[in-house]
Amino acid sequence: MFKVLPILLSVFLLISCGGGGGGGSSDGGETRSSTSSSSSSSESSSSVTSSSQSSSSDSSSSVAPNEAPTASAGEDQIVQGGFTVQLTAAGSADPEGETLTYEWMQVTEHNIMYVTADGTITEEMDTQDLFVYIPATEAGKEYTFSLTVSDGTHTSEADTVTLTVADCFEGDGDVFIECIDPSWFGISSYQEIDGNAGNNFYSNGIDNHVNWSLVDLEDGEHNNVIDVKFLRNDSSGNFTIAAPTPENADMPAIDMTDFANGYIKFDVRAVGTTDPLTLFLSIQCGYPCGTSTPWTVETLPDSEWTSVTIWVENLIDLELDVSKISTALLINPQWVNQADVNFQLDNIRWEKASCDDAPNVVFSNCLIQDDRSASGWDEDGGFYGLPDPDNHISWLEIFSGDEGHNDVIEVSFNNDTQSSSFSIIPVPLASMDLSAYAAGEMVFDYKMVSNPHADTNLFATVQCGDWPCAGGEFLLDKSEFGVWKEMRISVADMIDNDLDIMQVSTWFTLIPTYGQPQSGIRVELDNIRWEE
């Protein structure tokens, strides 16, 4: 009405001017006719103009304005350090359904890496899904991210999301016990796919060859474990837990010199198969520095957990530099034969030597010491100082878990060689005068784990001087399996069996029955000592 009114008023004035004469015929009728015609034309014009303006007004009021989109950065999360976390803007929306673009921003200044959906490092932050790798070193910190979205015309208000990195108890030498220890950087993999090779920091479970996840078994002994899968039959790779990169350095490194006389320990089991699984472990000290040959790890059948102990000194012998460790653990199945291999890891740690260093103690929680070590011998292979499972005799220091027993020595006889022995020897190799114990005893605990041979027994002894000098053979009871027993051997009895107590060459020796089958015999030893 208000837009039409001025037009009607102008028409009214036009009619008034025409009625006063001027430029028209003196005939009143003609004048009326002319005026009428002019009025009619004006009214028609007015009607058209008014209608046009009204139509324009109605059209303008019926078209809704373009509204700004809404950003949604997702819910706050509590996350584990050392893993990749996915943020998503999928909940963002535009009222008009326009295609959105995304812009993420890290609000808090903490250490972080951005990776793509296939796990490679990137700097892009303009994607709907943002993959962030938060190092385990950042445990206990909060990360806030801001998200805005645009429809090309309007930009949304910012929405924020906060990631809280769960606390993880920092234990001396711990790598993974429920969580990645904050002294380490986190999990990654190396994989070769379709001719491309490189490190990956996220396992998408689809295209990647090496995949990993945190799984809660809820079984009391093993709660959170790392589940590792190798999927593809056309690829190879490894799984690793890496060290952080020190400030002003260009390579990851942790000084583990304090553990040089200690051990690397972890639990492992095969998943999805009843067969034992062979894995290969390496430790690196800044590629190409690392163990010159992989360490072989054999799992137990039927998905049973295996406790693995590796002496760090043995790895040092394989050219490992413990002053600049770059991987806490690097493990993989046989190269080029990795498809559908699945295993789980738990309780990964480096442990310092915790030996009872009393002069009479041969073994108590710690086998490798400055003045003693282990040795195997068989008639086919001679002497060997490394517990290689390919040898007839292999040994491991394992965590027992039995009441009253922590770390123990597990000795295995792997084939039917006719003659063999396991010994704990002095370092350097030399004869010892143990005459102070002449009136005492050699004492040790043992547990028979398996012995499938009715005619094969185990005997304890010590050796002296040149072979065949020894202190007799003393039978271990094999009537009960899985039961710890204490055995005491009189030193006087050993002397009566021709032991030269002033020329003792082994602290302890274990031998099977000569000439009888030995494969499959397994025994655990603990608390070996000499008492006056």
CA–chain centroid gap for 321, Å, is: 23
Burial 340-358 (b: 16+ CB within 10 A, else e): ebbbbbbbbbbbbbebeee
What does DSSP assign to residue 464?
B
On whether both 154 and 187 belong to a single domain, the answer is: no
**Residue 400 structure tokens:** 């027992």
Say if 44 falls within a structural domain: no
Confidence of residue 358 (pLDDT cuts 50, 70, 90): confident
Lowest model confidence (mean pLDDT) among 43-47, 163-167, 169-173, 336-340: 43-47
Residues 269, 342: contact at Cβ < 8 Å?
A: no
| Ramachandran sector of residue 220 (left: φ over 0; alpha: ψ -120 to 50; beta: rest) | left
Write out pLDDT tens, residues 449-479.
999 999 999 999 999 988 889 999 999 999 8
Query: Which range has the worst mean pLDDT, 90-104, 203-217, 276-290?
Result: 203-217
Whether residues 151 and 181 fall in one domain: no
161 and 188 co-located in one domain: no
Longest dimension (CA), the chain: 166
Asked whether residue 68 is assigned to any structural domain, the reply reads no
Gap between the Cα atoms of 374 and 408, Å rounded: 13
Residues 382, 273 share a domain: no
pLDDT band with cut points at 50, 70 and 90 for residue 380? confident
Query: Residue 325 has what pLDDT?
Result: 98
Residues 201 and 161 in one domain: no
Token digits for 120? 């490679």
Domain that holds residue 512: 374-531
State the pLDDT confidence band at 415, using cuts at 50, 70 and 90. confident
**Which CATH number does the domain housing residue 109 bear?**
2.60.40.10
Nearest-Å Rg of the Cα atoms of the chain is: 41
| Separation of first and last alpha carbons in the chain | 121
* Sign of the CA dihedral with 365 first, then 368, 371, and 375 last: positive
Q: Whole-number mean pLDDT of the chain?
A: 86
Confidence of residue 406 (pLDDT cuts 50, 70, 90): confident
What's 400's domain CATH number?
Answer: 2.60.120.430
Per-residue confidence (pLDDT) for residue 369, from 0 to 100: 67
Q: Looking at 110, 142, 165, which one is the last position of a domain?
A: 165
Structure tokens, 394: 């292999």
Edge to edge, the sheet with strand 236-242 lists 196-200, 186-193, 236-242, 327-332, 278-282, 295-298
The verdict on residue 184 lying in a domain is: yes
Q: How far apart are CA 186 and CA 330, in angstroms?
A: 12
CA 327 – CA 524 distance, rounded (Å): 31
Per-residue tokens: 530: 């000499």
Q: Is residue 13 part of a domain?
A: no
Indicate if 157 and 180 belong to the same structural domain.
no
Predicted pLDDT at 242? 98
Q: What tokens does 513 get?
A: 């029955």
Phi, psi (rounded to 5 degrees) for 33:
-65, -45
Q: Is there a single domain that holds both residue 249 and residue 129?
A: no
Tell me, yes or no, whether 138 lies in a domain: yes
**241 — pLDDT class (breaks 50, 70, 90):** very high
Give yes or no: residues 344 and 393 share one domain.
no
Q: How many CB atoms lie within 10 A of CB 176?
A: 25
Three-class SS state of 383 = strand
Tell me the pLDDT band of 53, cut-offs 50, 70 and 90. very low
Letter string b/e over residues 297-313, b meaning 16 or more CB atoms within 10 A of that residue's CB: bebeeebebbbbbbbbb
pLDDT of residue 497: 96
Indicate if 114 and 256 belong to the same structural domain: no
Q: Quickly list DSSP for 247-307.
A: TT-SS--B--GGGTTSEEEEEEEE-S-SS--EEEEE-BSSTT-B-SSPEEEEPPSTT--EE
Amino acid symbol at 100: L
- The Cα 409–Cα 393 span in angstroms is 13
Say if 21 falls within a structural domain: no
Average pLDDT over residues 338-344: 96
Q: What is the pTM of this model?
A: 0.63
Q: Side by side, which strands form the sheet with 372-378?
A: 382-384, 372-378, 420-426, 508-512, 458-461, 474-475
Bridge-partner residues for 394, per DSSP? 412
Mean pLDDT of 338-351: 96
Q: How far is CA 357 from the centre of its chain?
A: 35
Helix, strand, coil shares, percent, the chain, to 5: 15, 40, 50
One domain for residues 289 and 398: no
pLDDT tens column, 473-496: 999 999 899 999 999 999 999 999
Residues 254 and 324 reside in one and the same domain: yes
Residue 72 lies in a domain: no
For tokens 């429809």, the residue is: 151
Measure CA 353 to chain center: 25
- Domain count for the chain: 3
Choose the final residue of a domain: 165, 189, 213. 165
Q: How far apart are CA 352 and CA 365, in angstroms?
A: 11
Q: How confident is the model at residue 356 (pLDDT cuts 50, 70, 90)?
A: low
161 and 197 assigned to the same domain: no
Query: Is residue 181 situated within a structural domain?
Result: yes
> End of a domain among 321, 352, 383?
352
**Quick one: angle between helices 28-62 and 5-19, nearest 10?**
170
In 3D, which of 53, 348, 321 has the Cα closest to residue 171? 348
